[in-house]
A and B are shown apart, each in its own frame.
Chain A
Amino acid sequence: MSDTQYLAASTIEEAVNAHSKANGSARFLAGGTDLLVQIKSGIRKPNLVIDIKKIVELNSIEEISENEFVVGASVSGVNLNRNKKFSKLWPGVLEAFRLIGSEQIQGRASLGGNICNGSPAGDSVPALIAAGCIALIAGPNGKREIPIEEFHIGPGKTVLNNGEMLVSLKFPKREINSSDAYLRMTPRTEMDIAVVGCGVNITFENNVCTAARVSLGAVAPTPLLIKEASKIMVGSDLNSEILDKVSKVCMDLCDPIDDKRGTIDYRTKVAGVLFKRATLTTIDRIKGN
């Protein structure tokens, strides 16, 4: 039996130092909705748990310039939802985040935790990738930035080195005529894990798509940014032929596993369907329907 130490850090520096000194045996604690479950079931046995919820930067939502947001890594779903402006600009990100767990879980769960947990099925990640978010990271050797689509390197594995923490998520300045959507397939309506998740983020002006990002979750070892999709969509009017084409691309790029949660065949088909539905929802949102 091992004793676990608990540290509530009040600054980034304190947290990062404590983590790097522990040489891999420490875990950051945000909402704990993944970590505590993992500790209880014996998957993780950290010697040191560093609570990061008291660090100001990690807990704030800032509009650094008009329509440009930075969201702290440990802001809870409930708190992000309270920010009316953010929810208007990024409805897809918010709906992805709000799908996580129940109302009780929402009071704790964070975007940072969802990303850093590293599950290929994490719901917020495809929406954040589609949004074009940048991860702001702090570590013993200073700060760095990295696009979310490069954050994951395998199931449960991220680019974070020992001592490094995710501080916040920087969203691009929101252009007009833009919106986003996230859809996931789960057998249950709630309290379930995505069999496939799809985030779509589009700018659509005068019936022409001028920017598009599509991301898929749970269909590969890491969440995917479907770069091909952007190429086909941008410049088009997003007619049904275009959507069919991109849907096919999505299916081709899927590399899922067969498991108790879904078969390769099923996941692949679902990816194509969700892409289309999420795109239509996004277009509706832009048109204000």
Chain B
Amino acid sequence: MNEISNKWIGKNTVRPDGAEKVTGRAQYSSDTTMPGMIWGHVLRSPHPHAKIKSINTKKAEALDGVKAVITSKDIVDFPLDKPVILGIQDMRWMCRNVMARDKVLFHGHPLAAVAATTEAIAEEACNLIEVDYEILPWAIDIEDAIKPDAPILHDHIKFNDKPSNIAGTLEHKKGDIEEGFAKADVIIERDFKTEAVHQGYLETHSCLVSVAADGRATIWSSSQGQFMVRAMTSFLTGIPQSNIRAIPAEIGGGFGGKTIVYLEPLATVLSQKTGRPVKIVMNREDTMRASGPTSGSKSKIKIGATKDGKIVAAQGTYYLQAGAFPGSPIRGAVGCSLAPYDIPNAHTFGYDVVSNRCKVAAYRAPGAPIGAYGVECVLDEIAEALKICPLELRKLNAAKEGTKAVHGPTYPTMGYMETLEAAMNHPHYKSQLGKHQGRGVASGFWFNAGGESSAQLNITEDGNVVVTTGHPDIGGSRASIANITAELLGIHHDRVSVLIGDTATIGYSNLTGGSRVLFASAMVVTESAKIVIKQLKQRAAKIWGIDEEAIEWENGEARPAGDNAGNFDPLSLAELAGKATATGGPIGAGYQVNTEGAEGGFATHICDVEVDMDLGIVRVKKYTSIQDVGKAIHPDYVEGQLQGGCAQGIGWALSEEYIYNKQGHLDNTGFLDYRMPVCSDLPMLDTVLIEVPNPKHPQGVRGVGEVPLVPPLAAISNAVYQAIGKRSYSLPMSPPKVLKIIEGN
């Protein structure tokens, strides 16, 4: 890592998207319009599970203003017997999720779409579509989906050779847990339950698609990856990728939920059929009913420790809701749950369970919060049983450089221990608690990710810099890339503009997810900058008539390297840019690679709550998150990531949940009854940034965006226990539930 100057890395520079956003100029997907544009609307299933016997679209087609009606016949069919994998998605499920084929599998499942001259006509036409359903029994909760006589969603999915709603399993093993438990002086085993929660992005899904007469499609949409949109739309419509241009927009939140497509293929086919640009915007109800959420879960955690606090064995069994199609984040649950610890004997096992709910989508550290919840709560009980401080217990067992993790890898340099020490020494941890208040702690881990990235770095004619990368900026990547570019080129930050390219203007870049974007794009930008600096030196060499090797690049200028090189006045970036035509042409370079070396992130959180003992209301009074962030390129943005994750964790722990009614319908599709915390529900969310640079990254970057959602569920649960003296083993800890626990029945 380059430690020399750090003039811009680590500085809270002004965010490049700020002025546009606060003045309403920023373009979001639903701001886009086109001449001749018409509107799409999606018909959704009113039943949680039914066979589609027939769909009659005649009346809808006959309605004045209707231009086209489509059903699953218009979407490419991927037969069930052969997986077609794209990233973490399987096109067999995607094609059925965007448009139901033989069966509808959840309330809100799309089964037809209409394009018409107005939104209202499109909606009215949907109501004219006649569907003959054969209603089937349904299963919403995991218990109902895995019992022997459960209604089966997909007949071809087998578990133990029988049709089943268990669509997959994943396990990690280390040592021998039987032997481990035999050595334990204290063993605690508990069952936990969590509910499905939505990412809660304020901007709902939307897109505008224009397919021209030559068959070329342009897509404007709200997504976490324009290349993902291009690829999935290509698969689902059959249009080659070269004929699809996907344009990213500013994004009003995603948190993982915009890593798949819902509307884009439908709008594309409708536009193909009508020859008109088609726009579709989901309302909040449809967004809640048919996009996102992450899994609800049930789990069993068993941990054994010796009386001096050494964990000798740990076992975790997780069942995660996948929604209507396979693909719950069991990897995050079974992989991350024990990752902070050095445990000799461990076994984690996950079941992927389908049921008549909306297909889950990624949500910040998918699966990891569920994994950590049970483990970190049981550790709290172990610490209590052994009369050890819960942070001390974690220190005694903390994974370090060289520890072989239960999920496989051997850790390089990492800062988990540092987060524990910082927590113990933090004034928050030493502060006094008031009446009916309690304090809890918990730790968490997320893998982080690398993957494909592309960048192009161009020097403008006046000697400034435009950097283009290929990932939608959701958490501040443009500001951070500007900092890094300014640092590398030795120029003022204001001289760097960072743009997000579309699929036609920048090389393939994997989507914004897995906390990968700054890690990966900083790498390709660094490589691009190196090439550009080499070019600049070559130009100076040409002007001065000396060897390129005799030139160094410093503070934004080419200089002769030492006296032997000759006596020349430095040439600034602007001067070199001004002479570019004469010295060989435009200056600029791109770089693209599959980045490697992303290392995991660890955090420890401290939470104080106060409980209203008569009403069961839990309020978070004080919250501190302490995280190894590698290197904070733009500290404000890093803090924002930590605070955002904690806020979402507080919602998950206390008030958010998908509630289904007796008819199998989602009963809380708006923010009134789907209770995300509002500002006044949250205290100041304090952060401590620990910087243990990732040794495998040029600037030391580790992903930071997902780890903060891992510890809160347990930190809050443990705090509630300290406040009321009784433990809750299920989330959310809503007032009626907490009051029941307080009253002991």
A192 to B661, CA, bound (A): 21
Q: A188-B680, A190-B679, A263-B736 are in contact. List 13 more A-B contacts (CB 8 A).
A: A187-B734, A188-B675, A189-B678, A191-B671, A191-B678, A192-B672, A260-B659, A262-B736, A266-B736, A266-B739, A270-B615, A273-B614, A273-B615
A185 to B738, CA, bound (A): 14
A273 to B612, CA, bound (A): 11
State whether A187 and B617 are in contact (beta carbons under 8 Å apart), knowing that A1-B124, A266-B739 are contacts in the complex.
Answer: yes
- Binary B-proximity of A205-227 (CB < 8 A = 1, otherwise 0): 00000000000000000000000
A-B contact pairs, 29 of them (CB 8 A): A1-B121, A185-B615, A185-B735, A187-B654, A187-B655, A187-B675, A187-B734, A188-B655, A188-B675, A188-B677, A188-B681, A189-B680, A189-B681, A190-B679, A190-B680, A190-B681, A192-B675, A195-B735, A260-B659, A260-B661, A260-B667, A260-B673, A262-B736, A263-B736, A266-B735, A266-B736, A266-B739, A273-B614, A273-B615
Q: Tell me whether A157 is interfacial, beta carbon within 8 Å.
A: no
The 6 A-B pairs at the shortest CB distance, nearest first, are namely A266-B736, A189-B680, A273-B614, A260-B659, A190-B680, A191-B678
A262 to B673, CA, bound (A): 11
Q: How many residues of A contact B (CB 8 A)?
A: 19
Residues on A with C-beta less than 8 A from B667 are 260
**Residues of A8-31 whose CB lies within 8 A of B:** none
Residues on A with C-beta less than 8 A from B681 are 188-190
Residues on A with C-beta less than 8 A from B616 are 266
A235 to B659, CA, bound (A): 47
State whether A193 and B678 are in contact (beta carbons under 8 Å apart), knowing that A1-B120, A187-B735, A260-B659 are contacts in the complex.
Answer: no
Q: Tell me whether B668 is interfacial, beta carbon within 8 Å.
A: yes
A265 to B616, CA, bound (A): 13
- Binary A-proximity of B657-670 (CB < 8 A = 1, otherwise 0): 00101000001100
- Binary A-proximity of B49-68 (CB < 8 A = 1, otherwise 0): 00000000000000000000
Task: Return B618 CB to nearest CB of chain A, in Å.
Answer: 9
Q: Tell me whether A261 is interfacial, beta carbon within 8 Å.
A: yes
**Residues of B138-171 whose CB lies within 8 A of A:** none
A265 to B615, CA, bound (A): 12
Task: Return A89 CB to nearest CB of chain B, in Å.
Answer: 27
Nearest-neighbor residue (CB-CB) of A262 within chain B: B736
Residues on B with C-beta less than 8 A from A265 are 736
Q: Tell me whether A269 is interfacial, beta carbon within 8 Å.
A: yes
- Binary B-proximity of A131-144 (CB < 8 A = 1, otherwise 0): 00000000000000
A273 to B735, CA, bound (A): 14
- Check if A269 sits within 8 Å of B739, measured CB to CB: yes
Residues on A with C-beta less than 8 A from B617 are 185, 187
Residues on A with C-beta less than 8 A from B678 are 188-191
- Binary B-proximity of A163-201 (CB < 8 A = 1, otherwise 0): 000000000000000000000010111111101000000
Residues on A with C-beta less than 8 A from B120 are 1
Nearest-neighbor residue (CB-CB) of B124 within chain A: A1
**Residues of B689-745 whose CB lies within 8 A of A:** 734-736, 739
Nearest-neighbor residue (CB-CB) of A189 within chain B: B680
A261 to B681, CA, bound (A): 18
- Interface of A, secondary structure class, is loop
Cβ 8 A contact of A193, one of B614, B672, B680, B739: B672
A187 to B616, CA, bound (A): 9
A189 to B651, CA, bound (A): 13
Nearest-neighbor residue (CB-CB) of B670 within chain A: A41
A262 to B739, CA, bound (A): 12
A273 to B615, CA, bound (A): 8
Residues on A with C-beta less than 8 A from B680 are 188-190
Residues on B with C-beta less than 8 A from A1 are 120-121, 124
**Residues of B403-460 whose CB lies within 8 A of A:** none
Nearest-neighbor residue (CB-CB) of A266 within chain B: B736
- Binary B-proximity of A223-246 (CB < 8 A = 1, otherwise 0): 000000000000000000000000
Residues on A with C-beta less than 8 A from B739 are 266, 269
- Binary B-proximity of A264-280 (CB < 8 A = 1, otherwise 0): 01100110010000000
Nearest-neighbor residue (CB-CB) of B121 within chain A: A1
A263 to B616, CA, bound (A): 13
A263 to B677, CA, bound (A): 21
- Check if B121 sits within 8 Å of A261, measured CB to CB: no
A266 to B667, CA, bound (A): 20
Task: Return B483 CB to nearest CB of chain A, in Å.
Answer: 36
**Residues of B606-662 whose CB lies within 8 A of A:** 614-617, 619, 654-655, 659, 661
Nearest-neighbor residue (CB-CB) of B614 within chain A: A273
Task: Return B679 CB to nearest CB of chain A, in Å.
Answer: 8
Task: Return A176 CB to nearest CB of chain B, in Å.
Answer: 32
Residues on A with C-beta less than 8 A from B619 are 189
A185 to B661, CA, bound (A): 23
Task: Return B120 CB to nearest CB of chain A, in Å.
Answer: 5
Residues on A with C-beta less than 8 A from B736 are 262-263, 265-266
Residues on A with C-beta less than 8 A from B735 are 185, 187, 195, 266
A191 to B679, CA, bound (A): 10
A266 to B617, CA, bound (A): 12
Task: Return B497 CB to nearest CB of chain A, in Å.
Answer: 35
A188 to B681, CA, bound (A): 6
A273 to B743, CA, bound (A): 14
Task: Return B669 CB to nearest CB of chain A, in Å.
Answer: 10
Nearest-neighbor residue (CB-CB) of B668 within chain A: A260
A185 to B734, CA, bound (A): 12
- Binary B-proximity of A48-85 (CB < 8 A = 1, otherwise 0): 00000000000000000000000000000000000000
A188 to B539, CA, bound (A): 63
Residues on A with C-beta less than 8 A from B659 are 260
Nearest-neighbor residue (CB-CB) of A276 within chain B: B614
State whether A261 and B673 are in contact (beta carbons under 8 Å apart), knowing that A189-B678, A266-B736, A273-B615 are contacts in the complex.
Answer: yes
Residues on A with C-beta less than 8 A from B615 are 185, 270, 273
Residues on B with C-beta less than 8 A from A263 are 736
Nearest-neighbor residue (CB-CB) of A274 within chain B: B615
Task: Return B488 CB to nearest CB of chain A, in Å.
Answer: 45
Task: Return B620 CB to nearest CB of chain A, in Å.
Answer: 11
Task: Return A278 CB to nearest CB of chain B, in Å.
Answer: 13
Residues on B with C-beta less than 8 A from A261 are 673
Nearest-neighbor residue (CB-CB) of B677 within chain A: A188
Residues on B with C-beta less than 8 A from A273 are 614-615
**Residues of B99-154 whose CB lies within 8 A of A:** 120-121, 124
Residues on B with C-beta less than 8 A from A188 are 655, 675, 677-678, 680-681
A39 to B614, CA, bound (A): 38
A190 to B654, CA, bound (A): 15
A192 to B615, CA, bound (A): 16
Task: Return A268 CB to nearest CB of chain B, in Å.
Answer: 11
Task: Return A106 CB to nearest CB of chain B, in Å.
Answer: 15
Residues on B with C-beta less than 8 A from A190 are 678-681
Task: Return B623 CB to nearest CB of chain A, in Å.
Answer: 15
A33 to B195, CA, bound (A): 31
Of B668, B677, B736, most A-chain CB atoms within 10 Å:
B736
Task: Return A84 CB to nearest CB of chain B, in Å.
Answer: 25
Nearest-neighbor residue (CB-CB) of A185 within chain B: B615
Task: Return A102 CB to nearest CB of chain B, in Å.
Answer: 9
Nearest-neighbor residue (CB-CB) of A196 within chain B: B615
Residues on B with C-beta less than 8 A from A187 are 617, 654-655, 675, 734-735
Residues on B with C-beta less than 8 A from A260 are 659, 661, 667-668, 673
Of A188, A190, A266, A273, most B-chain CB atoms within 10 Å:
A188
Residues on A with C-beta less than 8 A from B654 are 187
Task: Return B540 CB to nearest CB of chain A, in Å.
Answer: 58
A273 to B681, CA, bound (A): 21
Of B124, B615, B681, most A-chain CB atoms within 10 Å:
B615
A269 to B672, CA, bound (A): 23
Task: Return B235 CB to nearest CB of chain A, in Å.
Answer: 35
A147 to B681, CA, bound (A): 36
A262 to B615, CA, bound (A): 12
Nearest-neighbor residue (CB-CB) of B659 within chain A: A260
- Binary A-proximity of B306-337 (CB < 8 A = 1, otherwise 0): 00000000000000000000000000000000
